[in-house]
Chains A and B, each alone.
Chain A
């Protein structure tokens, strides 16, 4: 995707917002300019701390799930026997909406960061494990046989084939998980915390009815998601350069 196209899309979204704000003409939908002025003011007034707390929680949740799910997906996808054993388990657990376990997990793990990170981990783990497993099990047998003929055993196959072949799937899974992760982050920060963008948005909007500040929080949360999205894109270009050659 070209940078110019992204800027044009951002301009179109802002223009739509401006037009909608002018049509609605109510405090609940301020103009982009009003929100951006408040956004920069709020950055010096605590928004940055809320941003940092949310960034830490979502990064920890995503990293933990990637570090656990990617190897699990590789091992399951690389072995027909393990896949046969775990496929029904994943099939049953994957569609369960883990977000409904928020109260249970808070009861078990308390109201600190751990419960919030664990909820994100639970949701993202299955998304990543399924994508990576499917990628690993779909590797062409000729590629595996070719490396085996060069002397590779199981460990070398993982090092030289399964891991690099699954890296794009791991990054795709991470990219697809970002939206979910930020949404889950918002839900987990609605209660039992005084820090985080979820708390900030809810408190400013529902308690103080300070809509420009609430939208400033929404922008911060969007920037958080976008930043992570761009980071994954950057990693993909760095680690999977072969995908972009023609």
Chain B
């Protein structure tokens, strides 16, 4: 599904973040990208989202080079990216309205795009019924995140990219939304790629964990974590062991 080959990317006047970087993702997988600040986690997400482009090498989804944001990919940013002047309902409908704005041109909206009226379903599904007419400034952090998730899922994506989406939430809301995200991705067979700097979050969410280190990233380490998302997994010794291993590896890679 996603194939990154010999990718090199760096910002002007800075050493490259990625050099001859390779990575493969297959359908149905749940990935967490973990690493210290400045290692290129968010940049990698933006490369997948079609918001940044490699200097050399390629990033492909289903065999097609990513040359612009793909209608089937959903991106949720750290601050949720909600329009402050739109209500929850309008924010949830935003992606559909953008697609209606252009029509099914295959570029801004899928070729087979048919406007659906599933906004209310997603508002109810994510427990936003009572907040539907409120503006983002009137919402809690959890409600804002739910709105961002609803806005993305209403477009029925096959790839969900999330950039530290739970970092500003309290522990209970975070656990609740992590569970919700995993179950929705499983139900809809959506690939989830989540960026985080929190080791426990990566271990709780990613069935595969991509660990980035000090740039340039060439050979990232990948951790298999098949039990991620299972009830009670975070209380097991396997989870604690994985967190310890991730922490040690992060320290080793940061020191290099």
Residue ranges of A at the interface with B (Cβ–Cβ < 8 Å): 140, 142-143, 145-153, 155-156, 159-161, 164-165, 167, 240-242, 245-246
Contact = CB atoms under 8 A, between A and B. Distances in A.
A151 B75 CA distance: 11
B34 interface: no
The interface residues of chain A, by DSSP majority, are classed as helix
B85 A152 contact: no
Interface of B: 46, 49-51, 69, 71, 73-75, 77-86, 94-95, 97-99, 101-102, 107-109, 134-135, 137-138, 151, 155, 161
Contacts of A155: 101
Contact of A149 (B74, B101, B134): B74
Given A240-B85, A242-B84, A245-B137, A148 B51 contact: yes
Contacts of B95: 150-151
13 contacts: A140-B79, A142-B79, A147-B94, A149-B50, A151-B108, A152-B108, A156-B108, A160-B83, A164-B85, A164-B86, A245-B134, A245-B138, A246-B137
A151 B85 contact: no
A155 B107 CA distance: 14
A162 to B, nearest CB: 12
Nearest to A163: B85
Contacts of B138: 245-246
The interface residues of chain B, by DSSP majority, are classed as loop
Q: Nearest 10 A-B pairs (CB), nearest first?
A: A146-B81, A149-B75, A150-B95, A151-B108, A242-B135, A242-B85, A164-B85, A152-B98, A149-B69, A156-B98
Contacts, number: 84
Given A149-B69, A151-B95, A143 B101 contact: no
A70 to B, nearest CB: 16
Nearest to A153: B108
Contacts of B73: 149
Given A150-B155, A151-B98, A156-B102, A142 B77 contact: yes
Nearest to B96: A150
Contacts of B77: 142, 145-146
A151 B69 contact: yes
A142 B81 contact: yes
B186 to A, nearest CB: 22
Nearest to A165: B85
A163 to B, nearest CB: 10
A150 B98 contact: yes
Contacts of B98: 147, 150-152, 156, 160
A132 to B, nearest CB: 15
A153 B102 contact: yes
A246 B139 CA distance: 10
A145 B137 CA distance: 20
Nearest to B148: A146
Contact of B94 (A142, A150, A153, A242): A150
